[in-house]
Amino acid sequence: MNADESEAHDWHSWHDHYDDPDSSLARRLASVQDRIGRFLDAAGPGQITVLSICAGQGRDLLGVLEKHERAADVRALLVEQDPRNAEAAREHAERAGLDGITVVAGDASQTNHYAELAPADLVLLCGVFGHLTEADIERTIGHCAALCKPGGAVIWTRHRREPDLVPHICDWFAGNGFTLEFVTEPLATADLSLGVGMHRHTGRPRNLQPDATMFTFVNPRP
């Protein structure tokens, strides 16, 4: 997020909703963690690299790694604007003994933050698309083809309230060399806040564009 948006919302206390097991955010977190766990279960031997964009307190990735047998193989970079959330993520990683985690307190929209680790095996874009314009969502997905290595995956979230952009998001991923592996369906009885998707990069590799801004936060909906 940019600095103005960070100041306009208390993104640290916003994370308290995850502590309520009946909240839509807690249910979304569980779905994201399930997909991360499945990805790690299926990963081949050796190092697994992860980029988390707008990582918040890192609950999605760190909550899985603290219990997963492949945790020692993971090298991850978490980028988060809010310094309190970034510090919470660092403390979580330290408590869990996750030595491969690096947390950067900075503007997650800037591609330069990811240059050292990109392209990664797994890219997390959770709690991001609901805050962007359609143009910025499409632009960010274009950058994912450089952030994620061929054979790797992107796990993303977007609510399914109207306007439901998930079909467009899937089309934009397809247009950038990704294949859909999973997406939640907008069932009549479902929580429309719960939108989780996973795409596999099956296209050609791309070079990460330096000094690029992928998006600007404009909408406080998750």
The DSSP code sequence of 42-108 is: H--SS-EEEEEET-TT-HHHHHHHTT-TTGGGEEEEEEES-HHHHHHHHHHHHHTT-TTEEEEES-T
| C-alpha–C-alpha distance, residues 195 and 127, integer Å | 10
- Per-residue pLDDT at 190: 66
Over 70: is that where the pLDDT of 130 sits?
A: yes
pLDDT band per the 50, 70, 90 thresholds, residue 194: confident
Across the range 160-168, mean pLDDT stands at 92
- Per-residue pLDDT at 26: 85
Instruction: Give domain 3-201's CATH architecture.
Output: 3-Layer(aba) Sandwich (3.40)
Q: What DSSP designation does 177 have?
A: T
| C-alpha–C-alpha distance, residues 121 and 53, integer Å | 14
- Per-residue pLDDT at 21: 60
Partners of 199 in the beta sheet?
Answer: 154, 180
- Per-residue pLDDT at 16: 47
**Direct distance between the N- and C-terminal alpha carbons of the chain, in angstroms, rounded to an integer:** 13
Over 70: is that where the pLDDT of 11 sits?
A: no
Question: By mean pLDDT, which of 17-26, 52-61, 82-91 is the weakest?
Answer: 17-26
Find the angle CA(39)-CA(56)-CA(20) to the nearest 5 degrees.
85
Locate the domains of the chain by residue range. 3-201
**Residue 92 — φ and ψ, nearest 5°?**
-60, -45
Partners of 157 in the beta sheet?
Answer: 196
**Which value, to the nearest 10 degrees, does the dihedral of the CA atoms of residues 113, 57, 67, 17 take?**
-150
* Six-digit token string for 159: 């609510």
Please check whether residue 103 is in contact with residue 28, taking contact to mean a CB–CB distance below 8 angstroms: no
The rounded mean pLDDT for the chain is 90
Partners of 200 in the beta sheet?
Answer: 153, 179
Over 80: is that where the pLDDT of 168 sits?
A: yes
- Per-residue pLDDT at 161: 87
Number of residues that make up the chain: 222
% the chain with pLDDT above 70? 86
pLDDT band per the 50, 70, 90 thresholds, residue 217: confident
